Structure 1
Amino acid sequence: MARSPFTLVAAVTAALPGAEVVGARTLTADGDGRFDSAVATLADGRELVIRVAEDDAAALELAEESLALRALTAGAREMLPFRVPTHVGETRVGEARALVTDLMPGFQIDATLIPAGRGAAVSIGETIAAVHALPTSVVRAAGLTVRDADEVRAEITQLVDRAAATGRVPSRLTGRWRDATADDELWRFETAVTLGGMQAPSFLFEDDPHDGPQVSGVLGWRGLAVGDPAEDLGWLSGAPEAAADVHSAYTTASSRAIDDALRVRARLHAELEFARWLVHGAELRRPDIVEDAAALLESLADGLRSDDLRVVAAYTGGVDSALDVLDRVPETAAATIDTSMQTDAYRPEDLRWQDDAEQRGDSDGTDAEDTDDRSDASDDTDDRSEDTDAEDTDDRSDAHGGAPAAWEEPTQDLTEISGVRGSTHGDARETSSAAAGSDADDGAATGSSDLDSAEEAQRAARAALQRWTSSDSE
């Protein structure tokens, strides 16, 4: 049974001696049981997040995040143009490990709703480039994982072999992936500091009246390592509008040598999330996960057609072309698995998903009407602290006159959010499952039946990768 917020925040004083806790509230709605989480309000006005692991896997995640956050020294943080959670302390609640960090404000945008143009897309590209520009000494000094290009290639090869050994990977995919690992051109890249698989929920935004949403913070640091920068770009398979601008902004902001194979490897990493899901299920001896992964792999294979993962001169396909496959993935008879998850350290009442109506505005954030809306929003923060579901708009207006006490504030329901990097993968990579591109001519010839199933296919693929997150604790 989940611990109450009062029980959790009582442990904050053990992690931060001398702290005077004056309020407590739940951080998230009931999730998959990976963590119990709460927000503690201190007498000095600070708000801290405490997360308590529910099993050994979750405890390992907290330990990895703790190490990564402490590796980010003040000097390293000064190099980043955004906020990173601060490690406050660690303790135990009963026999369970607990991590305390500061609370980070901001809102998130679903990958499929990130618009093209100036604003969120450009800011995301610049943010990823800033992470990759960190000196590798940050990782080495903390004793975190450091892999060169050959080691990344060897890990991918091993993953492909393990997935193939289950007998549930279509031969077409196995051949495709093995051809990619055998292509020397694909693996000639400069390693960088990475988060091992960023996701859209990794980014917290604040609105700028002129430039639109700008990244204000980044979550999910437990995968901090030196490795393939393409791992942090694979999720763009599920951001059809923004992918090209994110890549362009990333390339412009990066001081690294041009990597012609970057997008190809990013697409490969996205495709291999299916393989990781399959291997994960096999290791846990979970037939439901294995069957689900196998069905998704069949759908992926059916949608690939004739494209491959070879590096070609002046490559123009991009990770976003992987959405051609996403639109062709049929619904599967997957086992029902809880896809909810606990959140990271940020202010739930400040989080809101951008809805379709907002995204239909000018993507560069410069429309006068949008600017006025953002200005109004910035002048009235009480409205943003209420529940952000579209259905409760009237409730927010009624509640404007006064905010509830800290321990009475409603918790944001984030069960639809896929998470920051989880176990060995990047957590339920919400959009990585949209993997594998197709050239434009083939996509145009798919026929009306493909278009009719696009929306259902997208939901099926995204839900499948959400299962990857929730399964870690099961």
Structure 2
Amino acid sequence: MTAALPGAEVTGARSLSAGGDGRFDSGIASLADGRELAIRVADDDETARELAAEAIALRALTDGARAMLPFAAPAYIGETRIGDGRALVTELLPGFQIEAAMVPPGRGAAESMGASIAAVHGLPTSVVRSAGLATRSAEESRAEIERLVDTAAATGRVPARLTVRWRDAVADDDLWQFESTVTLGGVQATSFLFEDDPDDGPAVIGLLGWHGLSVGDPALDLSWLSAAPDAADDVHAAYARAIERAPDSGLEVRARLLAELEFARWLVHGDSMRRPDIVDDAAALLVALAEGLNSDDLHIDEPRGTGVDSALDALDRVPRDTASEVDTSMHTDAYNPEELWARDAETSDEETTRAGDAPTPLPGFAADAEDARRAEMLNIETEDLSGVTNAFAGSRDVRDDPSSSHRPAAAAPEDDEDDTDEAQRAARAALQRWKSSSSE
């Protein structure tokens, strides 16, 4: 700690966790001057690269860039090594988090989240380019998705319905007519830190998770809304009002496509790591996704409710005893694998034995060609599955509560103002309970 911040007088320390199986060893250090700092230590090469990327991104946020944001981003303090692990020290931001399925509709959290994402997308691209971070045009983003779809399909474990659906979306020129923007590369609901306003409800005061800072498809930062069915319309509407850019008619459809493709990424990851347990889990999720679709198409004029929101509702039907608990480098503090891949006590030993075996090569692949294909697949970027966890939670809410269907983004009529105020008061009360239960 003192190596990252020479001269600092540490007066106390405590653990920092969101309650999941985190990839980082994390803690909070209290300083004599009253500041509190967050320390994260990488456990492996992948998490070390993530911390390095976050350090570059936070340093790229100059005072001028930060002044354009209506919320705080963690300040970069320093880097050091603790044991054999790389450590990043940043400012600890205040605020409480809300799981995606708990984000209430209406004014407050949903609208503040939409406006906050728009603020990030409104940053000058020079912020990213000057730091040497990744930039992707619309066509490059499209080509990357096409490679992912082809790689996942090559495993032979993707239902044909999904492969056709995704390839049709990639081939739809209208869907890919967008202006690349600064993005965080995949916002999650837990990226936002809130404070509660007695009149207006929760407002975003901080944003975490800057390691994916780049220029690319703005839909990346909205795909998490598949797990927030009640709030999705209001987040999208607030985003559209706040963004100073030509309308992107394909934004919501691409966001749903990207949400679905998280399962494909998980499949590709398992196949490239020669982990049959992960492959089987991903394949089961993809089958459930395909069975839950109400429409085979992802088109700009597709009505709400026929895309991934409805499809993810089917994921609760995946038998929990058919998938194994896994331990991979994709874990984060926001991701608890036990919520998705519960091990069946009667089959756990057998699945653990299989975990080290390579999946059977596809017919027609020689051993050398198969090894080359896997090596190439390892270069495909994978993301943590905290969004998948949220998708399950969101799906359950939609299924169990018929009133949770999407409501229009337009403001409520005057006759409904009393009901709206009462709903907001109830939402704030619920969020305060969430805040209290999460304060540790």
Give the TM-score category using the shorter length: 0.7 to 0.9
Structure 1 counterpart of 2:266: 277
Which of 301, 306, 314 matches 1:328?
A: 314
1:307 positional shift? 3.6
How many angstroms apart in 1 are the aligned matches of 2:166 and 2:216? 19
Structure 2 counterpart of 1:70: 59
CA contact (8 A) 2:138 2:177 kept: yes
How many angstroms apart in 1 are the aligned matches of 2:36 and 2:396? 47
- 2:95 maps to 1:106: yes
**2:126 aligned partner, one-letter code:** S
- SS of the residue aligned with 2:257? helix
The CA deviation string for residues 384-440 of structure 1, in whole angstroms up to 9 with x for no partner, is: xxxxxxxxxxxxxxxxxxxxxxxxxxxxx999999xxxx9444214258849xxxxx
1:453 positional shift? 10
Which of 175, 194, 198 matches 1:186?
A: 175
- SS of the residue aligned with 1:176? helix
1:322 positional shift? 2.9
- 2:304 maps to 1:317: yes
- 2:250 maps to 1:261: yes
Structure 1 counterpart of 2:399: 454
How many angstroms apart in 2 are the aligned matches of 1:182 and 1:433? 29
- SS of the residue aligned with 1:430? helix
Deviation above 3 Å: which 4+ runs of structure 1?
A: 29-33, 338-344, 413-418, 423-426, 431-435, 450-456
The CA deviation string for residues 47-68 of structure 1, in whole angstroms up to 9 with x for no partner, is: 1111111111111111111111
**2:272 aligned partner, one-letter code:** E
Structure 2 counterpart of 1:428: 385
Structure 2 counterpart of 1:6: none
How many angstroms apart in 1 are the aligned matches of 2:103 and 2:147? 34
- SS of the residue aligned with 1:327? helix
The CA deviation string for residues 96-127 of structure 1, in whole angstroms up to 9 with x for no partner, is: 11100011111111111111111001000100
The alpha-carbon distance between structure 1 residues 417 and 256, as it changes in their structure 2 partners (threshold 3 A), is: farther
1:254 positional shift? 0.7
- 2:292 maps to 1:303: yes
Gaps of 5+ in 1: 1-11, 345-412, 436-449, 457-474
Structure 1 counterpart of 2:427: none
Higher relative contact order (CA 8 A, sep 6+): 1
CA contact (8 A) 1:201 1:417 kept: no
1:336 positional shift? 1.6
How many angstroms apart in 1 are the aligned matches of 2:65 and 2:190? 22
How many angstroms apart in 1 are the aligned matches of 2:16 and 2:337? 12
CA contact (8 A) 1:28 1:414 kept: no
**1:114 aligned partner, one-letter code:** V
1:286 positional shift? 1.0
- SS of the residue aligned with 1:152? helix
How many angstroms apart in 1 are the aligned matches of 2:114 and 2:229? 14
CA contact (8 A) 1:273 1:433 kept: no
1:243 positional shift? 0.4
Which of 6, 10, 27 matches 1:21?
A: 10
Q: CA RMSD in A?
A: 2.8
The alpha-carbon distance between structure 1 residues 144 and 453, as it changes in their structure 2 partners (threshold 3 A), is: closer
The alpha-carbon distance between structure 1 residues 79 and 327, as it changes in their structure 2 partners (threshold 3 A), is: same
Structure 1 counterpart of 2:125: 136
- SS of the residue aligned with 1:252? helix
The alpha-carbon distance between structure 1 residues 134 and 29, as it changes in their structure 2 partners (threshold 3 A), is: closer
The alpha-carbon distance between structure 1 residues 318 and 142, as it changes in their structure 2 partners (threshold 3 A), is: farther
What pairs with 1:191-206 in structure 2 (closer than 5 Å)?
191-206=180-195
**1:149 aligned partner, one-letter code:** A
1:325 positional shift? 1.8
**1:202 aligned partner, one-letter code:** S
How many angstroms apart in 1 are the aligned matches of 2:125 and 2:398? 45
1:74 positional shift? 0.7
The CA deviation string for residues 28-53 of structure 1, in whole angstroms up to 9 with x for no partner, is: 27853621111111111111111111
How many angstroms apart in 2 are the aligned matches of 1:123 and 1:451? 25
Identical-residue share of aligned pairs (%): 63
The alpha-carbon distance between structure 1 residues 63 and 114, as it changes in their structure 2 partners (threshold 3 A), is: same
CA contact (8 A) 1:66 1:87 kept: yes
1:261 positional shift? 0.7
